[in-house]
Amino acid sequence: MSKLNIKGIVKRCDDYGKLVNRYCGPVFVGFATSLITLIAITYFTIIFPATSDFSNLFFIFNFFCDLSISLFLTYGIYFNYIKAIITKPGYPNLNSTLINNINSNINNSNNNKDKDKILIIDNVKWSYCKKCSKAKPPRCHHCSVCDKCVLKMDHHCPWIGGCVGFYNYRYFFLFLSYLWVSVCYVLAHSLPLLFGGYLYSKKYTEIDRLLVIISSIGSFITFVAVGSFGGFHAYLIGSGQTSIENLYPPKKRPNYSLTSIKDNFQIVLGKGDYWFSGLLPINYTPIGNGCDFKLNISNEDNNKNNENNENNENNEIDNHNNNNNNNNNNNNNEKEDNINENDNLISYDTDEYNRHKK
């Protein structure tokens, strides 16, 4: 029997996965939209009316506040989701003449090291993408599904049918945020209905109860999944990272973090007149062009100093061990010399004894 080609099987599965992501993106988007719409319709037609009370002015006021918050969250979900889908993540775009000159120089060069550093623009190193055969700026990566280089690429998301990058990252993160808060709101209203027995009155049909149960289960799954995923992205934004950069070893990870967590969030969400301006579901163009990112030099220097200190400590340990080994060798040599001298003395004494005996 022939041996299984593990690498070939893994590569084939990876290729199939890329094809599924590339051509089944609309299916994932349609499923997500349908689930969100089902939960929204169930909430506004069954759950919300069942939890409303008009017995006095306070409850009436609470009803309108509740309704306003629900409508605002729903608008925030759909607005940010649509914008995350239709907004291109951004692609590197140099002057076409400049790109052709660079690519021709690279193709004519036989040295692979020339491809590692091909262009410096405003003291920023642009690297070379072998798959696109084009120059690409820092934090730009080639997406194997989209088959394009994406500016400040975070990841390819099948739920939006494309990549999350420089220009649509804000909408993607706000979509997760609004969705998580909304499912919390749905669970807060639906759980009392499920465990309080209100749905089992004659006022509600079997279909109503089934829709509430499905919406509650879907909301709980979304609460866990989106909560953990959104929390991870909140950490990435606060530390100035992307999902790809987070995969690097800490010592090799480029540090693009600004002076504070607030500044890191503002560079992604935007800075307005109020602290909540970056959270509003509005059109927004990120700061910068997606090509120029400044490294946090102080932290980079600290990392280098730490590495140098570690190297110095290791060198000191090695030198100490070498000195000990040399001392041990010297001691062994001295012992051997003493043994040889003793042997000579013994042989000399034996000869003298034999002479006297004669």
The answer to whether the pTM exceeds 0.85 is no
Bridge-based pairing state of the strands 119-121 and 134-136: unpaired
Nearest residue to 222 (alpha-carbon basis) of 190, 173, 181? 181
State the Cα–Cα distance between residues 171 and 241, nearest whole angstrom. 17
DSSP 152: T
Transcribe 63-98 into DSSP letters.
HHHHHHHHHHHHHHHHHHHHHHHHS--------HHH
In sign, the C-alpha dihedral spanning 249, 255, 258, 264 is negative
Radius of gyration of the chain (CA): 34
DSSP 138: T
Marked catalytic residue, from 157, 163, 184, 291: 157
Which residues partner with 186 through β-bridges? none
In sign, the C-alpha dihedral spanning 127, 129, 132, 138 is negative
* Residue 157 annotated in active site: yes
Q: Which long-range contacts (CB under 8 A, 24 or more apart) does 244-252 make?
A: 244/141, 244/153, 244/154, 244/155, 245/139, 251/303, 251/307
Nearest residue to 92 (alpha-carbon basis) of 170, 142, 149, 164? 149
Instruction: Going residue by residue through the chain, which has 358 residues, state the pLDDT in tens, using 9 for 90 and above.
Output: 445 577 677 667 766 666 777 778 899 999 999 999 999 999 999 999 988 877 788 888 989 999 999 999 999 999 999 999 999 999 987 654 455 555 555 555 545 554 555 677 666 778 888 888 888 889 999 998 888 999 999 999 999 999 999 999 999 999 999 999 999 999 999 998 888 777 777 788 889 999 999 999 999 999 999 999 999 999 999 999 999 999 999 888 888 888 889 999 999 998 877 778 888 999 988 888 888 887 876 654 444 544 554 555 455 545 555 555 555 555 555 545 554 544 443 344 444 434 444 4
